[in-house]
A and B are shown apart, each in its own frame.
Chain A
């Protein structure tokens, strides 16, 4: 089998205050996969995500991205390969215009001039925000800001796109538009979410993290229909939503 895009082995981590967040996590994501990372609040999802691009360093175990281990000297290349879209777009968009913001990542990679402009343009086109390039980010709607936040990361041409709660605070139309965009991208996705219908719609595979351990890893449909597992890890489907009546969405991308 080919080298996984994401290869997490035996990852353990404790915060400086002694709180142990991860107890030996194993996770492999292969090229082109879209994986949902599910789990109750406090399960360690965010801690795991921050290990993927070297913001936090493993207490034990290892993380590798396309074969490149996450170590101090590899951090610049790791951050190019792993694009994280944070939950609050206001945290991610801090420049004066959308164009500058989307250009920030690639410019840090050393791109300049026409090449940089082309990257910015294509990233904005992927999320349907090209016409807003010269607007200040804080004048956009929340849904538009979320899309620009995705573009800021796409502009770095990452090998894996990591989304933290992509559907939170979006109205249903923006939520659906973002789903369309994510489906249209030719990129490996790891999506951290509480939005289980969204996970079923977008990700054929789901991983459940609970108390710092992977407790399930399989087809999203199977995970969501395993009542005992769901109950044991505080996962609940929203009222009126039953995967059994919805069925498995056709696999695309």
Chain B
């Protein structure tokens, strides 16, 4: 039961976007997100331009749009929150499809949704066109503190290990006749999560031990 090849967010390709230096892509993403966040809520045309920019970049990168769309599920919690806003906000009311909703709430919901979607889409595009390793190098070139880059590097390296471990634990649970169907089963899931946390923590200690054994002194050597 090995882990699948390739990183789940990365889409292999050779487009100009794929080849662009990682630190430039990171800066571009940061600038783009800042501009999107700073755009006033009712400048609807500006949002169309933002979207056009992302779509153009995706088109050049030749990453299939469905590939990105499928990965946009991470946004769902925000969408739920945005949908609730018009119903809970106060102020002047307006009618949408026969339901009375708050006007300011509606505008806020639109802004949250638009900004969130653009941000997620742009970030996914960066992830799809840049190898995790390149991303780390890019951050290092941008002078992000070495310790933070190290921590992210470990995250990238052990993400697969921990998710396969989680997967194995689920299979082991299910092999003993357990499937989480309703909230009464949640305590079992919580205990599994606890066990996973402790295992990961202990693995962290073992990794540290192995690093010390090869002369690690607290700083990554520059090679």
Quick check: is A138 within 8 A (CB to CB) of the other chain?
yes
In the complex, what distance in Å separates the CA atom of A55 from the CA atom of B212? 8
In the complex, what distance in Å separates the CA atom of A80 from the CA atom of B203? 23
Quick check: is B103 within 8 A (CB to CB) of the other chain?
no
In the complex, what distance in Å separates the CA atom of A100 from the CA atom of B157? 13
Which of B3, B5, B156, B209 has most chain A Cβ within 10 Å? B209
Quick check: is A185 within 8 A (CB to CB) of the other chain?
no
The answer to whether B222 touches A108, judged by C-beta atoms less than 8 angstroms apart, is no
The answer to whether B158 touches A94, judged by C-beta atoms less than 8 angstroms apart, is yes
The one of B133, B136, B210, B215 that contacts A109, using a Cβ cutoff of 8 Å: B215
The answer to whether A116 touches B215, judged by C-beta atoms less than 8 angstroms apart, is no
The answer to whether B213 touches A138, judged by C-beta atoms less than 8 angstroms apart, is no
Q: Mark A98-120, 1 if CB is under 8 A from B, else 0.
A: 00100111011100100010000
Quick check: is B2 within 8 A (CB to CB) of the other chain?
yes
Which of A82-90, A188-196, A236-244 forms part of the interface with chain B? Answer: A82-90
The chain A residue sitting closest to B219, CB to CB, is A108
Q: Is the interface of B mostly helix, strand, loop or mixed?
A: helix
The answer to whether B136 touches A96, judged by C-beta atoms less than 8 angstroms apart, is yes
Taking residues whose C-beta sits less than 8 angstroms from the other chain, chain A's interface range is 35 or more
The one of A86, A100, A107 that contacts B206, using a Cβ cutoff of 8 Å: A86
The answer to whether B157 touches A138, judged by C-beta atoms less than 8 angstroms apart, is yes
In the complex, what distance in Å separates the CA atom of A72 from the CA atom of B203? 25
Q: Write out the residue numbers on chain B whose beta carbons fall within 8 Å of the beta carbon of A84.
A: 210, 213
CB neighbors of A among B125-157 (8 A): 132-133, 136, 153-154, 156-157
The answer to whether A76 touches B161, judged by C-beta atoms less than 8 angstroms apart, is no
A55/B213 contact (C-beta < 8 A), A90-B203, A91-B206, A104-B221 known: yes
The chain A residue sitting closest to B221, CB to CB, is A107
Q: Write out the residue numbers on chain A whose beta carbons fall within 8 Å of the beta carbon of B214.
A: 79, 83, 104-105, 108, 152-153, 156
A107/B213 contact (C-beta < 8 A), A94-B157, A96-B157 known: no
The chain A residue sitting closest to B216, CB to CB, is A108
In the complex, what distance in Å separates the CA atom of A112 from the CA atom of B211? 18
The answer to whether A95 touches B153, judged by C-beta atoms less than 8 angstroms apart, is yes
Q: Mark B192-223, 1 if CB is under 8 A from A, else 0.
A: 00000000000100110111111111000111
Quick check: is A53 within 8 A (CB to CB) of the other chain?
yes
Taking residues whose C-beta sits less than 8 angstroms from the other chain, chain B's interface range is 20 to 34
In the complex, what distance in Å separates the CA atom of A188 from the CA atom of B186? 52
In the complex, what distance in Å separates the CA atom of A137 from the CA atom of B160? 11
The one of B157, B206, B213 that contacts A53, using a Cβ cutoff of 8 Å: B213
The answer to whether B157 touches A107, judged by C-beta atoms less than 8 angstroms apart, is no
In the complex, what distance in Å separates the CA atom of A92 from the CA atom of B221? 16
Chain A nearest CB, measured from B211 CB (Å) = 7
The one of B156, B210, B216 that contacts A86, using a Cβ cutoff of 8 Å: B210
The one of A96, A116, A138, A153 that contacts B160, using a Cβ cutoff of 8 Å: A138
Q: Write out the residue numbers on chain B whose beta carbons fall within 8 Å of the beta carbon of A86.
A: 206, 209-210, 213
In the complex, what distance in Å separates the CA atom of A152 from the CA atom of B153? 18
The one of B136, B158, B161, B215 that contacts A108, using a Cβ cutoff of 8 Å: B215
The answer to whether B136 touches A103, judged by C-beta atoms less than 8 angstroms apart, is no
Quick check: is A141 within 8 A (CB to CB) of the other chain?
yes
Chain B nearest CB, measured from A201 CB (Å) = 26
25 contacts between A and B (CB under 8 A): A55-B212, A79-B213, A79-B214, A82-B213, A84-B213, A86-B206, A86-B209, A86-B210, A90-B158, A91-B203, A91-B206, A91-B207, A94-B211, A95-B157, A104-B221, A105-B215, A112-B222, A112-B223, A136-B133, A138-B160, A138-B161, A139-B3, A141-B2, A153-B214, A156-B215
Tell me the A residues contacting B by CB distance below 8 Å: 50, 53, 55, 76, 79-80, 82-84, 86, 88, 90-92, 94-97, 100, 103-105, 107-109, 112, 116, 136-139, 141-142, 152-153, 156
Tell me the B residues contacting A by CB distance below 8 Å: 2-3, 5, 132-133, 136, 153-154, 156-158, 160-161, 203, 206-207, 209-217, 221-223
Closest 9 CB pairs of A and B: A107-B221, A108-B215, A105-B214, A91-B206, A96-B133, A92-B210, A84-B213, A79-B215, A107-B223
Given contacts A55-B212, A94-B207, list 11 more A-B pairs with CB under 8 A.
A50-B209, A53-B213, A76-B215, A88-B206, A95-B153, A96-B153, A97-B133, A103-B221, A103-B223, A104-B214, A112-B222
